[in-house]
Structure formats: C-alpha cells, structure tokens
C-alpha cells in the first residue's frame, strides 16, 4: 500500500498572510489524519515564510501517523530535525531563496556531504530519504550514502503527463526498477495530482509513499479537505 502524506505548507502560507492563527495549522494536521492521511509533511525554510520552526515542534506533539520533515540540510535544519526526531527526514537540495523544490540532488558531487548528514540522522533512528531525479547514476550514488529511501522528483512527469503518458512515466519506471534492484525504498512528490496520481501509482513498482501539498490544498477549496483526502487515497488504491 502506498501511503499518502499531506504537505501542509500551504495552510501555513494562508495563515501567515493575515497573521494570527487562522487557519489553525495544528488542527488541520489533526483533521488530515482523521480524514485518512497516513502522514504529515512540512518543509520549513530559513525565512519561515510558511512553516515556522515553532510549528514543527508543535506538530511533533500531535502527529500520530508519520511525521516527515523535508528541507535543505543547513546547520539550523539539521539541529531542528535532531531536536524534533521525526519519523522521516527528506533531504532536498534547494537553496533558501527557492520558491519550491526545483531539482534533485547530484548525489555523486554531494556524496560525502550527504553521507555525513544521513549518518547523523540514522544514529538517532530517523529514516532518511534523498530527493533525486530519474538519472540512474544519482540513484546509484544515493545508495552509497546509506540512505533508506529516495524521493523521486516528479515535476517532469506531471508536466508531460497530458501530452504523452507513456513517455512521461518511462524514466520513473526505469528509476524505480533501479532503486528496487539496489534495495532503496521509493517515495515520490512534486506536482502529483488527482489527474496523474493513479497512473503513476499503477506504473511505479513498490511505491511506498507520496507527499502531496499544493494540488491537494487547491482541490480542497472546491471539494473540501475531507473529501479530497479520500479522493487522493482512492487514486492510490490500485486493483
């Protein structure tokens, strides 16, 4: 079964636009789990423009499914993760000024750095995942860092899905086969939606988890959060 982890960054963005605590981020996380989500994901950035570091500590107290913190492994991020001890940390290579994640790691170039970071987290029994594209060399070098999983960066799949589904999915199928051969767990995320999620799930062998935020929250504006979580879960139920 593929787990659905709901990224709640957009909820924090809405809250921060007006100040105060509306919508209540903690309550939304509780409700997401109550509505069926199997995990909560956050991506705190140094400028705290959406998720704040204080939010991460509050969420740790209430998340009962799986808590996934993703971000660039700066010293402040590493210190945060070590203090909170989430179930999973996802290492993303984006710089502080990036609007959203826009690339996977060059795991050959950054192998020593990533190996050191992964080792720190795994010593605390925090599952690690490295954000990568579909280049097989990056998956092979990810293995050398001793990471538990990779997270496939799915923007290109989403971008070309409507034009040609088979061409869009092929690099991801090849990447998943390689990861399976190497014994790496597979997560995925970025621009997955109600339109493209089912096809992705059907074609990626041993997909463990997807992290979805932007599209899911946009859909919730029309259909309501509870309905939308159920709609996404249905896409992950492949018969």
Q: Bridge partners of 210?
A: 4, 188
Look at residues 165, 239, 221 and name the one whose alpha carbon lies nearest to residue 11.
Answer: 221
Residues 130-154 have pLDDT tens digits of 999 999 999 999 999 999 999 999 9
Q: Please tell me the predicted confidence (pLDDT) of residue 124.
A: 97
Q: Bridge partners of 89?
A: 69, 128
In the chain the beta strands, taken as DSSP E runs, fall at: 3-7, 39-42, 67-71, 88-91, 127-132, 149-153, 185-189, 207-212
CA atoms within 13 A on the CB side of 99: 1
DSSP code for 72: -
| Largest Cα span, the chain | 49
Structure tokens at 134: 């579909």
50, 66, 190, 209: the catalytic one is 190
Catalytic (active site) residue 50: no
Catalytic (active site) residue 190: yes
Residue ranges in the chain whose pLDDT is less than 50: none
Q: Please tell me the predicted confidence (pLDDT) of residue 82.
A: 98
33, 43, 66, 151: the catalytic one is 43
**Exposed/middle/buried for residue 152 (C-beta within 10 Å: 0-12, 13-18, 19+):** buried
Q: What is the pTM of this model?
A: 0.95
Catalytic (active site) residue 214: no
DSSP code for 70: E
33, 70, 151, 209: the catalytic one is 70
Q: Please tell me the predicted confidence (pLDDT) of residue 95.
A: 66
Q: Which residues contact 133 (CB under 8 A, 6 or more apart)?
A: 103, 104, 152, 153, 156
Tokens 């990779």 belong to residue: 150
Q: Please tell me the predicted confidence (pLDDT) of residue 103.
A: 76
Selecting from 3.10.420.10, 3.90.850.10, 3.20.20.70, 3.90.1150.50, what CATH number does the domain 3-235 have? 3.20.20.70
DSSP code for 37: -
- Domain coordinates in residue numbering, the chain: 3-235
């Amino acid at each position: 079964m593929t787990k659905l982890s709901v990224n709640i960054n957009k909820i924090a963005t809405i809250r921060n636009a007006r100040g105060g605590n509306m919508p209540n981020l903690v309550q939304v996380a509780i409700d997401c789990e109550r509505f069926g989500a199997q995990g909560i994901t956050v991506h705190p950035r140094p400028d705290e423009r959406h998720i704040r570091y204080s939010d991460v500590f509050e969420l740790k107290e209430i998340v009962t499914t799986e808590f996934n913190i993703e971000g660039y492994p700066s010293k402040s991020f590493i210190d945060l993760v070590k203090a909170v001890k989430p179930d999973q940390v996802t290492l993303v290579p984006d710089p502080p000024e990036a609007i959203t994640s826009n690339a996977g790691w060059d795991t050959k170039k950054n192998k020593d750095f990533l190996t050191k970071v992964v080792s720190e987290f795994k010593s605390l029994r925090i599952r690690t995942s490295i954000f990568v594209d579909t280049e097989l060399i990056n998956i092979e070098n990810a293995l050398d860092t001793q990471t538990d999983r990779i997270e496939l960066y799915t923007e290109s799949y989403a971008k070309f899905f409507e034009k040609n589904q088979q061409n869009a999915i092929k690099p991801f199928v090849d990447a998943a086969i390689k990861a399976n051969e190497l014994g790496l767990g597979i997560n995925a995320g970025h621009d997955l939606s109600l339109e493209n999620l089912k096809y992705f799930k059907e074609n990626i062998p041993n997909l463990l988890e997807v992290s979805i935020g932007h599209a899911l929250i946009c859909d919730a504006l029309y259909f309501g959060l509870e309905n939308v979580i159920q709609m996404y879960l249905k896409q992950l139920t492949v018969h």
